[in-house]
Amino acid sequence: MDRRERLIARARQGFRLAYGVEPTRFFAAPGRVNLIGEHVDYNDGYVLPCAIDREAIVALGPPDRDAPVPRFEAVALDMGDMASARDSFDLVGKILPGENNWQNHVRGVVQALGRYGHRVKPARIAIAGDVPIGAGLSSSAAFGVAVALACSEHSGLSLSPEILAKVAQIAENDFVGCACGIMDQMASAASVADHALLLDCRNLQTLPIPIHPSLAVTVIDTGLRRDLTESAFNQRRAECEAVAKHFGVAALRDLDAGTLMAAEADLDPVLFRRARHVVGEMERIEPVAVALAKGDAATLAEVLHEAHVSLSEDFDVSLPAIDRLAALVREALGDRGGVRLTGAGFGGCLVAVAQADARGAIDEAIARYNETSGGLPASAETFKPIRGAAPIVF
Ligand code: GLA
């Protein structure tokens, strides 16, 4: 059995154990890693993530025939034992938030579909995933998009990837309480195999960028987690919005570097640095997209390093230990590829985009880091960029 078959088997078995019948359909949505364009999505700019070969799978079957009112039932197989990881709610009337985050992803998706005028048909689902949780690889987006796809297909809606992504984002914003942008959900919903996804976060237009066959995308989990990630994330977003307001623009996307630099003296120094990261990061998208397609490892080395320094010094979402690990990997790679912090930050993962045969150098740098770090060991995994959310056809 390969990775996906094992996941499907787990979802099928969980469904059977929870409801005593067989599921009838399966749906999958992947996690993602962002290559460049960090903390840019909620500023309406361009980002360049790619889906990874780790997914959330939803097994779906018909509702309990004896239920007195139309109901939706869910069991999240990675969220505790069978008794605590279950949820059930009426589909008539207002859907209220549940007790925990995963329930709110499900309830939020059903509620958000309602906002688009779509009525979800009663069903029972079981969700199993292998996107590492809390590592910055968007296990939540995979979960939300997989549920949105399952609800949409089961209810005969056939919604576009853009709407599925929006629905999962609304659930996360309004039900879970994280002011995330649209990047993770769009990467999960709309990615193309062997490509990264250039996404305009203002109008959701996408352009798949081929990843040159000489390159590999390796994610290095630092093992480090910072507390209060959600509140720190929401704070960063508020800081960016404050700068946009200061300049009277809709979003930082509309601010050019010259205008920002000329106004340094008028701005709070922290707000200035936040904006300098976003404006600088937007200028890095195009060179990285071109280098990715051409296999230009030396440019990747240079631009990803700039991006890391900017995230660490101006956006303040790194940690000293992560900076140390990034420096070791950078030194080991030389001009064979680049490395930087990826995702929201505050701990989490580094991404290396480097020549495939440089993986040994990355591993050596990690081994050197682990000898002296004293904390949880860092580890690396090379992922295959896969396609976005889709029903599973056997
Ligand atoms: C998290 C959010 C995304 C994005 C990134 C930072 O992953 O969910 O919307 O803002 O952080 O680029």
- Tell me: pLDDT of 375 over 90: no
- Supply the pLDDT for residue 231: 85
Q: How far is the CA of 309 from the centre of ligand 1 (A)?
A: 18
> Ligand 1: which of 33, 36, 41, 145 to mutate, most ligand atoms within 8 Å of CB?
41
- Supply the pLDDT for residue 81: 81
**CATH pick for 3-208+386-392 out of 1.20.120.1760, 3.90.1200.10, 3.40.250.10, 3.30.230.10:** 3.30.230.10
Domain 210-383 homologous superfamily, CATH? GHMP kinase, C-terminal domain (3.30.70.890)
Q: Which atom of ligand 1 is nearest to the CA of 178?
A: 8
pLDDT in tens, 332-347: 999 999 999 999 998 8
Tokens describing residue 278:
């976003």
- Supply the pLDDT for residue 157: 96
> What residue ranges line ligand 1, CB within 6 angstroms?
34, 38-39, 41-42, 180-181, 183-184, 343-344
Contact 128, 366 (CB under 8 A): no
- Supply the pLDDT for residue 203: 98
> Ligand 1: which of 32, 35, 39, 101 to mutate, most ligand atoms within 8 Å of CB?
39
Calculate the average pLDDT of the chain.
96
- Supply the pLDDT for residue 183: 98
Residue 197 β-bridge partners? 208
- Tell me: pLDDT of 78 over 80: yes
Contact 33, 351 (CB under 8 A): yes
Q: Once rounded to an integer, what is the mean pLDDT over residues 14-33? A: 97
Q: Once rounded to an integer, what is the mean pLDDT over residues 370-394? A: 94
Q: How far is the CA of 228 from the centre of ligand 1 (A)?
A: 15
- Tell me: pLDDT of 227 over 70: no
The closest alpha carbon to 183, from 171, 166, 159, belongs to 166
Q: Once rounded to an integer, what is the mean pLDDT over residues 271-280? A: 98
Protein residue whose Cα sits closest to atom 9 of ligand 1:
181
> In Å, what is the CA distance from 78 to each residue of 14, 58, 102, 136, 393?
10, 12, 10, 17, 23
- Cα torsion 352, 355, 361, 366 to 10°: value is 20
- Supply the pLDDT for residue 226: 65
Tokens describing residue 314:
């101006």
Protein residue whose Cα sits closest to atom 8 of ligand 1:
180
Residue 220 β-bridge partners? 350, 380
pTM: 0.97
Where residue 82 falls among pLDDT bands split at 50, 70, 90? confident
Report the SS3 class of residue 369: helix
184 is catalytic: yes
- Supply the pLDDT for residue 256: 95
- Supply the pLDDT for residue 223: 87
Catalytic residue among 184, 221, 296, 314: 184
Domain 3-208+386-392 and domain 210-383, same fold? Reply is no
Cα(184)–Cα(41) distance, rounded to whole angstroms? 9
- Tell me: pLDDT of 376 over 90: no
- Higher-scoring residue by pLDDT: 224, 279: 279
Q: Which atom of ligand 1 is nearest to the CA of 183?
A: 9
Name the least confident of 222-226, 270-274, 285-289: 222-226
Q: Once rounded to an integer, what is the mean pLDDT over residues 116-136? A: 94
- Supply the pLDDT for residue 374: 80
pLDDT in tens, 241-262: 999 999 999 999 999 999 999 9
- Higher-scoring residue by pLDDT: 178, 25: 25
Domain ranges of the chain: 3-208+386-392, 210-383
Where residue 228 falls among pLDDT bands split at 50, 70, 90? low
pLDDT in tens, 24-56: 999 999 999 999 999 999 999 999 999 999 999
- Supply the pLDDT for residue 346: 86
Q: How far is the CA of 271 from the centre of ligand 1 (A)?
A: 19
